[in-house]
Amino acid sequence: DQGEVSATPQLFDVEYLAPVQIGTPPQTLNLNFDTGSSDLWVFSSETPQQSRGGQKIFEIEKSSSAQRLANNTWAISYGDGSRSSGNVYLDVVSVGGVNVFNQAVESATSVSSSFISDAASSGLLGLAFDKLNTVKPSKQKTFITNALESLELGVFTANLKKSEPGNYNFGFIDETEFTGPLNYVDVDSSDGFWAFQATGYSVEGASGNGTGSPVVPIAHNAIADTGTTLLLLPAGINQAYYRQVKGAKEDPQAGGWTVPCKADLPDLTLHIGSYKAVIPGELILFAPIDTDDIKTAKTCFGGMQSSAGMPFAIYGDVFFKAQFTVFDVENGKLAFAPK
């Protein structure tokens, strides 16, 4: 079995939503596929009206195959301070034609404000490791764990794009979505994340010789997290990069590094083992912060920010827009390639 779904960016690529079919007859909800968490939760008929902001909901009573997982609840809180919680059902879930029967579908009876105000997202589909699932007393498995035995290849891939739909594939690797060989790296899933070791970075043009700065070995632990918008890296990498950009500044008022929207940003190369992951400078230009119009805006928020205070760096959507990524569940590996 194998499947492909579109990954559609919301305004300023702040998140990517993919269609998921839940229940009988199928109800299609657009969910945020999150390799940084392991709960599949949805706005539902159990979500109080006051906590809905226009999202499409999963109407539990209209699914003939929904079964309450009695005496089980869930509650999750994300690193950005958002949180949700509720009851648990088992139902059929399909992604791009890949079907899982008896998938835990976590129904929200409470959601925090940032979820309420995000009208486009009906919830999250977690793709990290099962140990992070929050259902109690019986921890539940993710969609990918449940789908694994039916997949041709035990993998899923992320191919996100700047300001246009990309895709997630399940069960196969589409060689037309990347160039060159795949570069495999070891994963440490002991904390439940797609964690790996990055060995350093270099900034194009940093030393003015055009061939890019020497590799600066700021080795760091990192996780691959499609549910995080930006690229969160050690403070030293941020300083070395943004010091090359005229007008860049770390502005606590703005919440981090800002750059002039017209800046010509250098490429950032992240060294992962022997692999050089190039992040084109234009991806490090993120949303305007002084107006909603990137054409007239003067100041833009940087697409790379500091991971200071976090247990690891977070390779979020800015990274996945530059690098085709294989999440090899079968072998517990990640693989990257340019595209």
Ligand X SMILES: O=C([C@@H]1CCCNC1)N1CCCCC1
Residue tagged 């055009």 (tokens): 210
Listed ranges 21-29, 75-83, 105-113, 320-328: which one lies at the site for ligand X (CB under 6 A): 75-83
Minimum separation from the CB atom of position 5 to ligand X (A): 18
Displacement of CA 138 from its chain's centroid (Å) = 26
Residue 78 binds ligand X, judged by CB under 6 A: yes
Residue 294 corresponds to which tokens in the numbers above?
A: 């990137």
Other CB atoms within 10 A of residue 186 CB: 12
Contacting residues for 101 by C-beta, under 8 A, at least 6 apart: 92
| Active-site choice (225, 267, 317, 328) | 225
Nearer to ligand X, 124 or 182 (CB): 124
Listed ranges 34-42, 106-114, 203-211, 286-294: which one lies at the site for ligand X (CB under 6 A): 34-42
Residue tagged 């992070």 (tokens): 132
| Active-site choice (13, 34, 317, 328) | 34
Listed ranges 31-39, 138-146, 194-202, 205-213: which one lies at the site for ligand X (CB under 6 A): 31-39
Nearest CA among 9, 98, 8, 105 for reference residue 60: 105
Residue 79 binds ligand X, judged by CB under 6 A: yes
Strand (E) or helix (H) holding 184? strand 183-186
Minimum separation from the CB atom of position 337 to ligand X (A): 23
- For ligand X, the binding residue among 9, 36, 166, 256 (CB under 6 A) is 36
Minimum separation from the CB atom of position 194 to ligand X (A): 10
Nearest CA among 310, 327, 307 for reference residue 34: 327
- For ligand X, the binding residue among 91, 225, 267, 328 (CB under 6 A) is 225
3-state SS class at 235: helix
How far apart (Å, rounded) are the C-alpha atoms in residues 59 and 17? 19
Minimum separation from the CB atom of position 21 to ligand X (A): 23
Minimum separation from the CB atom of position 14 to ligand X (A): 11
- Name the pairing type of β-strands 200-203 and 40-42: unpaired
Respond yes or no: is residue 225 known to be catalytic.
Answer: yes
Active site residues: 34, 225
Residues forming the site for ligand X (CB under 6 A): 34, 36-37, 78-80, 223, 225, 227-228, 314
